[in-house]
Amino acid sequence: MSFRVGALLLISLFLSFCAKASQQIDAVGSSILDLTATAYGFIAIIIFVIAYVFVILEEKLHLRKSKPVLLAAGIIWILIAVAYLGEPNHLLVEQAIRHNFLEYAELFFFLLVAMTYINAMLERGVFDALRDVLVSKGFSYKSLFWLTGVLAFFISPIADNLTTALVMCAVIMAVGKDQPKFIGLACINIVVAANAGGAFSPFGDITTLMVWQKGILEFWTFFKLFIPSVVNFLIPAFIISFAVPPGKPVTQIDAPIFKIKQGGLVIVGLFLVTIVTAISFHLVLHLPPVFGMMTGLAYLKLYAFFLNRHSKNGDQDPDASPGSTPNGSYGKFDIFNKIAQAEWDTLFFFYGVILAVGGLGFMGYLGMTSEFMYGQLGALNANILVGVLSAIVDNIPVMFAVITMNPEMSEVQWLLVTLTAGVGGSLLSIGSAAGVALMGQARGHYTFFGHLKWTPAIALGYGASIGVHMLLNG
């Protein structure tokens, strides 16, 4: 009896799938409604602007940025669905939202794996040990200014610019507590360096990751931006370095170095292997890189099992800090704790942005914007403008909007918009995740107006990097 019920259920599901598929095929030829001049469109734009005002005021209101954009995304797609009620092409709405959700899902799982690895390395003390080594060397303020900047530039392509900036800022805060001016200048340098370093790697920034996952640029193509990124970092760093105070911080040279916990360096190696796996999935197997990252998560999960089994008495890891989950796994290296500690606010923020911007694009607004920016201004001017907008608005919705517009551009121009979206956020402290995070970590030392004072120097590097890119790659 149960077999018959199961068979009937499978048959009914198959028939309903076939009926739905035929309906979708019929709807493909239908036209999309232009909602830009309707009440639905106007309300959607107002909702999006209001939501983004709340995002900008996150530090003042203490309202997590994901909350307003999640609500805005839901309302925008409700408006679209209501507008299409009774229309013969209403199935296009379902197709569009599924397409946007799939784009988000790929980005979500890719970032979730990367964040889990970073959290595991943080818990094992890898970054703490790096900080202590730098603090104990007795460098001068100017040497620390350059050293933290260079490290931020070269670590951010492998990790991400946000984590890199936080680690380097911890070093600055530890050695510069008696010199507030140094902290402010060094934080500006770290933000510029981390954003510049993230611009020439698919793993360095969310914007480059989106371009790579979309298949617009190949993995190795991004490295054509290495020299322009170096220029973007070095010019403002050179100018700002003249204002760095002389002397050395007072440090304990013989202070003990934080000992990396058991398995910490192995996890670093597994993270590098995971990156290679993601690249191989894309270049060799022609599969989306997110599947390579998920395979890499299996490496970490299996190693976590091995780590717990081979710790003291095969029971608990003697180096592990107490867990935070209610399932009784305290004292062990619990990989699910590391997943739970991911930046969920950031991940849900990406969902809201991608769905909201995708909804505005479905309404027709991105087509209008693309016609103005890339039709009238031209690709070069439009891509430079994208970088300036990234300093005011977050670079993620700006870059996703460009990808959704999908203007006809050469490889050189796609590289340019990747560069400008990545480094344009350095123009203001609120223009990038690294800048916003450091304003909180170095509160009172690194401020909006302190950064703004050096915006002309950063803008000089911004313009020079564009010129070098066009000279070398154009």
More confident residue, 58 or 92: 92
Residues 6+ positions from 363 with CB-CB distance below 8 Å: 34, 35, 36, 40, 41, 44, 80
Contact 283, 179 (CB under 8 A): no
Tell me how far apart the alpha carbons of residues 130 and 183 are, in angstroms, rounded to a whole number.
Answer: 18
> Two tokens at 420?
């400008």
Residue-wise pLDDT for 419-458, tens only, equals 998 899 899 887 777 887 787 777 778 888 889 899 999 9
Tell me how far apart the alpha carbons of residues 196 and 466 are, in angstroms, rounded to a whole number.
Answer: 12
**Mean pLDDT of all residues in the chain?**
80
Would you tell me the crossing angle of helices 264-283 and 126-136 to the nearest 10 degrees? Answer: 110
132 alpha carbon, distance to own chain's centre = 27
Question: Looking at the whole model, is its pTM more than 0.75?
Answer: no
pLDDT band at 9 (very low <50, low <70, confident <90, very high): very low
Q: How far is CA 78 from CA 44, 90, 151, 354, 401, in A?
A: 10, 13, 46, 15, 20
Cα angle value 396/169/232 (rounded, 5°): 55
Q: Where are the alpha helices (DSSP H) in 156-263?
A: 161-175, 180-198, 206-213, 226-241
Q: Which of 137, 169, 140, 138 is nearest to 246 (CA)?
A: 140
340 alpha carbon, distance to own chain's centre = 18
- Residue 316's DSSP bridge partners are 312
Contact 131, 167 (CB under 8 A): yes
Summarize the chain as % helix, strand, coil (round to 5).
75, 0, 25
> Two tokens at 299?
């490496």
Residue-wise pLDDT for 197-240, tens only, equals 988 888 777 788 888 888 888 888 899 999 999 999 999 999 99
Residue-wise pLDDT for 59-85, tens only, equals 678 888 889 989 999 999 999 999 888
